[in-house]
Amino acid sequence: MTETVTKMYFCAICKKRHSIDLPIDFAEGKTHYPFVHFFIHKFQGEPEKHFEKIGADIITTLYIDKNLTIRGTEVALEDPNANIMNRDDAQTMITFLTNHINELQEAYDNLAEQYAKLLESVQLQK
Ligand SMILES: [Zn+2]
């Protein structure tokens, strides 16, 4: 069994803190930090006040640092009427998109670095 650490994050939809267990090596081997972690959790807020959200799926995005600190949290309510994918398909798509976002971020970082070097060389010529 992989050792896990429990982290807390605040969910603006449930209006409470949730805990999440992450494998202790979860941040290893990422191309940059913080990295993106997507998952879905069920609405856990007060059902009396938000009966329309009972059982709702909440798409959760965590931005996690190399030391597993949660740097940012985004939550979005999944539209139940638009929910035509099953969870496995959704997870596959999310994994694909996450990898794609990471690749784009890497390409952006490279470009930004080259741009900075270019600016520097232009300034040297003045
Ligand atoms: Zn929540």
pLDDT digits (tens, 9 = 90+) for 85-125: 667 777 888 888 888 898 899 999 999 999 999 999 988 77
Tens-place pLDDT, residues 14-25:
999 999 999 999
For the stretch 90-112, what's the b/e string if a residue is b when 16 or more beta carbons lie within 10 angstroms of its beta carbon?
A: beeebeeeeeeeeeeeeeeeeee
Q: How far is the CA of 42 from the centre of ligand 1 (A)?
A: 7
Pairwise CA distance, residues 29 & 49, whole Å: 43
Give residue limits of the domains in the chain: 1-83, 85-126
What does pTM read for this prediction? 0.62
Q: How far is the CA of 44 from the centre of ligand 1 (A)?
A: 6
Q: How far is the CA of 45 from the centre of ligand 1 (A)?
A: 7
Q: How far is the CA of 77 from the centre of ligand 1 (A)?
A: 9
CA dihedral of residues 111, 72, 40, 35 (deg, nearest 10) = 40
Residue 53: pLDDT over 60: yes
Q: How far is the CA of 124 from the centre of ligand 1 (A)?
A: 52
Residue 63: pLDDT over 90: yes
Q: How far is the CA of 1 from the centre of ligand 1 (A)?
A: 27
Q: How far is the CA of 71 from the centre of ligand 1 (A)?
A: 17
